[in-house]
Structure 1
C-alpha cells in the first residue's frame, strides 16, 4: 500500500473523530445536553457516512478540501440555527457524505480491511488529539489572537434576544452567562441552570423547605447557587451552609456569603463519601432531561441523601410544572418522582403550582405550623405569605400508583421528560414515539421473523457485519450512559470513550485479518459480553472498567469486519463494484445501535433488557449462519 494512501486513510480517521466530537459537542449544547440527541446525532452521522460510502469514487483531493470547508461551515451553522431539529439533521449531511466518499475513493477489493484498519488508527490518534484540545480549550482560545473574540461572537448566536456576557469552557462543559434586561442567566452545556435574583422562586423553594424544620442549622444545597437562594437561606440563621457544585468555573461566577462552604465535587460522589449530617438537603437542579440530571432523581440518589439527613431532616426537590402544558407525560413524570421518593422515605409530600415541589423525610403537612414559624423567625418575604402557603397546601399532588420507580439503570423519568419535551414540539410525534417504544419487543420479533423468511445465503456477511456494527455502537451508547450515571460529566471524556472503542476496533481488525477462526465465535463472545456487562456495571461501574468494556466491544466488532468482508467479496462476480457494501452495512448497523438503545431500550426497558436485546440479536445471527 502506497504511503500517500496510508496517510490519506489515517487522516480520514483523525478528521472523522475530531469532526464527530466537535459536532456532537456543539449540537448537544444546542439541544440542552440531552443524550437523546447524542444517540440521534451518532446515528445520522453513521447513516450519512454510509450513504457516501455507497456512491462512486470521486476526486480525493477535492474531498480533502470539502471536508475542511464543511466542518467549519457546519460548526458556524449549528451555533446560528437555534433549536431547529430539521436543520440539525440536515446540517450533518454534507460533511458525513464527503467522509464516506473519501473512504470509497481509497478502497479496492483487496485492501478493504487494511483501509478500515488504517482509518481506525486515525480514530485513535484523533481521539487523543481532541481530548487534549478539549482539556485545554479555554487556554487555547485565550492565547490565540482574535480567537476569543470570534468564539464569543459565534457563541452569542446561540442565545437569541440575549446579550452574551461570558462564555468559558471547563473539563465539565461550556458555561455561558447571558443578560436579559438586568437579569443574568446561567447556562451549562446549553441547558438553563437558573437566573440571578429569581426572588419569587427562591423564596418558595427555600422557605417551604426550611419552615418544615423546627430549627434548621446545617443546610446542604446541591446546585443552583446563583438564583438568590443564599439570601433566603440566611434568613433562617443557619450555622452552616454547604454548597456542592462540581464545576469551579460556575462557583467562580457566583457571589457567595462568607459562611458558605463550597465543595467542588459531583453531588453523587460527595454524598457517597461524606459522613456529614444535615437538617435540610435542597436539590436545586434542572429537570431530568439528561442521564446526568436523571441521577439526582433516582432511588439510589434519594437513598444516599436519606443517609445524610438527621432524624428530623427534610429533603426537597422540584420539577417544572404549568397548567397550560400539563400533558399526560408530565403528570406521569411527577408520579414517577413521587413514587421514587416514597420508595425511600416513609413520609413524602408533593404540591404544585408553577413548580411541582417534592418533600421527603420529617415532612410537616400542617400549613399552620409553617405559617407560625414564618412569623416566629420574623422572615420578610415579597411573594411567599400566609395566603400562599394555605393555597399551595390545598394543591397536593396525587401519584399514579402504576408509575414506575426511577433508577440509575432504568431511567424512566428521563424517558417521560423526553416525551414531555416532544409534546411541546409535536404531540403526534410524541404519541408515535411512545407507542413504538412500548411495543418495541413485538416489533423487533416480528421483524426477525420477516428477515428469517427473506434471509439468503449470500447475504450472511452483510447481516453479520450489520449486527456487529449494531452491537459495537450499542455498547458505546451504554458506556456513555453508564459513565454519565455512575461518574458524571462526560464533556471531555467522550473522545476518550470513542478512542477506547476504536483502539479495540484497530486490534480487532488486525486480528480478524490474521485469524483462521470462523465468524461465529465472535458473535458468541458478544453474547457472553452482553450477559456479563450487567453484573459488571452494577458492581464495578468505574472509569477504567467502562473504558475496558468499550475496548473489548470494539475488538469483537472489529474482528468480524475483515472476516465478513472477505466472505462477501469472494462470492461476488464483480467485487470492484461492491467494495463499499460491507462498510455501508457496518455503518447502518452502527446507526441503529446508536439510536435504538439511547431512545428506546435504556429509558423504557432499562440496561438489563438492552443487553439481552444485543444477546438475542447475535444469537439470531449464529442460528441463521
Structure 2
C-alpha cells in the first residue's frame, strides 16, 4: 500500500480539523459569540461533508487518473479555505447588515451553510477519492478502508492539537492557512513522486515557492488586514487578534477606540457616561462600601469610578489577559486604577472565582454585556445569584444591567427584564430596577433591605463622599429617576402572569435576548408568538420528535439494505 496515499488520508483529517477550528472562530465573531452558531456550523459541516462524499463520491470510480485529481484537490484546499474565511468576513456585507449588528436566526442559518459549503464539499469528495485509491491498492477492501479512517483520524487529532495549542495563539487565520498550504503542497508533491505527473508537480512546486516568498513581505498579515476592513467596513481597524478565549478587535474613530470581543461590543474609550452609570448607582445604594468585586468592564474607566468612593479593596476579574494587554496600548486614563495598590487584577472565570474565594464583599458589580450568549447568561442565572449571595457581607449589594429604552419597553424587552428581575428576587428579597436606556437591576441581601429609588438619598451620599462626576450628578440623577418612569417600570415588573426563571441549564434569558435582537433591524420573528411557542416546548416533546426521526431512519436504513445499496 503506497505510503503517500496514507499521507493523503492524514492530510484530509489534518486540514479538515484546522479548517474547522479557524472557520468556527470566524463564524463566532460574525454571530457575536453565540453558541447556537457552533451547533449550526457542526451540523452544516457534517451535511456538506456527507453530500461531498455521497453525491460527488459517485464519480470517484469513473475518474481515470485518480491520483492526479487527489493532488490537484490538495493543491486547491488552502485557496478554498482562504475563500471561506473571506466569505465569513463578508457575510454582513452580503446580507446588507451593518458591522456590530446582531443577526437573527434566518441570517445565521443561511450564512453558516453558505460559508462552509465549498470547503466541506471538497473535503468530503477528497476523502472518498483517497479511500477508493487506498482500497484498490490492497487485496482486502476492509483493511484499506480501515487504514484510511485511521490515518484520517490521526491527522484530525494532530491538527486539532496543533491549532488549539499553538497556531491560534500565535498566528492570524491567513498565516494558519499558510501552514495548511505548506502541508498540502508537500503532500501533493510526495504523492506524485512515483507517477511523475508534470501538472500537479509543477503547480505544487510553484505555489510552494510563492508561499515561501510571501512570508517575508507579510502577505498573510496584509490579507488579514484587508479582510478585516471588509468585515468592519466604515470603521478603521487598529488591531485584530485571536486569543485563547476568542477574537479581539479594536477600531477607531478620531481619538476614540472601540473594543469588541467575538463580535460583541465591549466598551468605547472616553465613554464616561457608561463608566459612571455602571458604578455610581449601585455604590450609592450602599451606605459604606469598602470591599468591591468588579466583574468585567473595568477597562472603560469603571475601575477609576469605583475608587472614588474611598473603598479599601477592589478585586477586578477580567477573563482574557490579551484584552488587557491590547487595551494598555491604546488607553491611558481609563487604566489608571490598575496601578492603585487597592486594586487586584485577576484573570480567571468569575464564576470559578466566586465558587472558590474566601473573600467577602460589600458590593458586586456585574459589568458585562447582555446575555447574548450562554456563557454570558451564566451571570444572570439563579445559580449565579446564589453563589454571589454567599460571598456578600451582611447588607451586601449586587448590580447588573440590561440594555433597554427610556420610556417604553417592547414585549421582548419586558419578557427579558421580568425574567432577570424575578430570578434575582428569588435570592435577594430587596430588588430595585432603575429606568432608562440601560436598566440597572440591584439586589440586596435579606439583612439589608434599604435600597431606594429616592434621588435625594443618592445625591446626599454623592455629596458626603465628595465624588466628582461628569454625568451622574445632583442634576442628572433626578432626571433618571423621574416618578413617571419609575412608576411605569414598576407596573411592567408587577404585571400578573407567569414569569420563567433564568437558570444555568434552562437559559430562558439567553432565549429572550435572542428574540429581542431578532426583533430589531428588519429581522422580526413575531417575538410574542415565537417566545410563547418555544417556551411552551417540553422535554417529552423533544423526546417524541427524536423517537420519530430515529424510527424513520431505522426503517429507511433497512429498506436501503434490502435493496443492496452500500458504500464506503
TM-score, normalisation: structure 1: 0.68
Q: Is 1:364 aligned with 2:451?
A: yes
1:156 CA drift (Å)? 3.6
Q: Which consecutive residues of structure 1, in runs of 5 or more, have no partner in the other structure?
A: 463-567, 581-625
Q: Is 1:217 matched up with 2:290?
A: yes
2:162 to 107, 110, 129: 129
1:256 aligns with 336
1:197 counterpart SS class: coil
Q: Does residue 57 of the first structure (1) align with residue 59 of the second (2)?
A: yes
Q: Partners in 2 of 1:356 and 1:309 — Cα distance?
A: 22
Aligned residue in 1 for 2:403: 320
- 1:195-253 C-alpha deviation (Å, 9 max, x unpaired): 11211122222111111111222222111112221332233222222211122222232
3-state secondary structure, aligned to 2:17? helix
Is 1:579 matched with 2:567?
A: yes
* Structure 2 residue aligned with 1:373: 461
Please name the residue that 1:196 is paired with.
269
SS across alignment from 1:226:
helix
Q: 2:87 aligns with which of 67, 74, 77?
A: 77
| Separation in structure 2 between the aligned mates of residue 218 and residue 256 of structure 1, nearest angstrom | 19
Aligned-pair distance for 1:443? 7.1
Match of 1:66 in 2: 76
In 2, the alpha carbon distance for the partners of 1:98 and 1:75 equals 15
Residue by residue over 1:312-352, the C-alpha shift from the partner in whole angstroms, topping out at 9 and shown as x without a partner, is: 22111001112699442332111121121111112111122
Which residue pairs with 1:116 in the alignment?
Answer: 149
Query: 2-side partners of 1:23 and 1:153: how far apart?
Result: 17
Q: CA deviation at 1:16?
A: 1.0
The answer to whether residue 470 in structure 2 is matched with residue 382 in structure 1 is yes
Larger radius of gyration: 2
After TM superposition, list the pairs within 5 Å mapping 1:489-568 onto structure 2. Answer: 568=561
Matches within 5 A, 1:158-557: 158-252=231-325, 253-254=327-328, 255-257=335-337, 258-259=339-340, 260-322=343-405, 326-361=409-444, 362=448, 363-367=450-454, 368-386=456-474, 388-393=476-481, 394=483, 395=486, 396-397=489-490, 398=493, 402-424=498-520, 425-428=522-525, 434=531, 435=533, 438-439=536-537, 441-442=540-541, 445=544, 448=547, 452=551, 459-460=557-558
- Aligned residue for 2:393, secondary structure, equals strand
CA RMSD of aligned residues (A): 3.0
SS at match of 1:310: strand
Deviation at residue 40 of structure 1 after TM alignment:
1.0
Distance (Å, rounded) in 2 between the aligned partners of 1:171 and 1:249: 9
1:96 equivalenced with 2:129 (yes/no): no
Any unmatched runs of 5+ in structure 2?
61-68, 96-106, 136-140, 177-213, 329-334
Aligned pair partner of 2:130 in 101, 106, 116: 106
Distance, in Å, in 2 between the alignment partners of 1:19 and 1:431 is: 39
Q: 1:156 to 1:450 in 2, by over 3 A?
A: closer
Residue 77 (structure 1) shift: 2.6
Give me the TM-score of the superposition, normalised by structure 2: 0.75
Name the CA shift for 1:171/1:120 in 2 (closer, same or farther; >3 Å).
Answer: same
Residue 186 of structure 2 corresponds to which residue in structure 1? none
Instruction: Tell which has more relative contact order, 1 or 2 (C-alpha 8 A, sep 6+).
Output: 1
Measured after TM superposition, the shift of residue 445 of structure 1 is 2.7
Between the aligned partners of 2:128 and 2:259, the Cα distance in structure 1 is 45
- Between Structure 1 and Structure 2, the one with more helix by share is 1
Aligned-partner Cα distance in 1 for 2:391–2:559: 55
Q: How many residues align?
A: 469
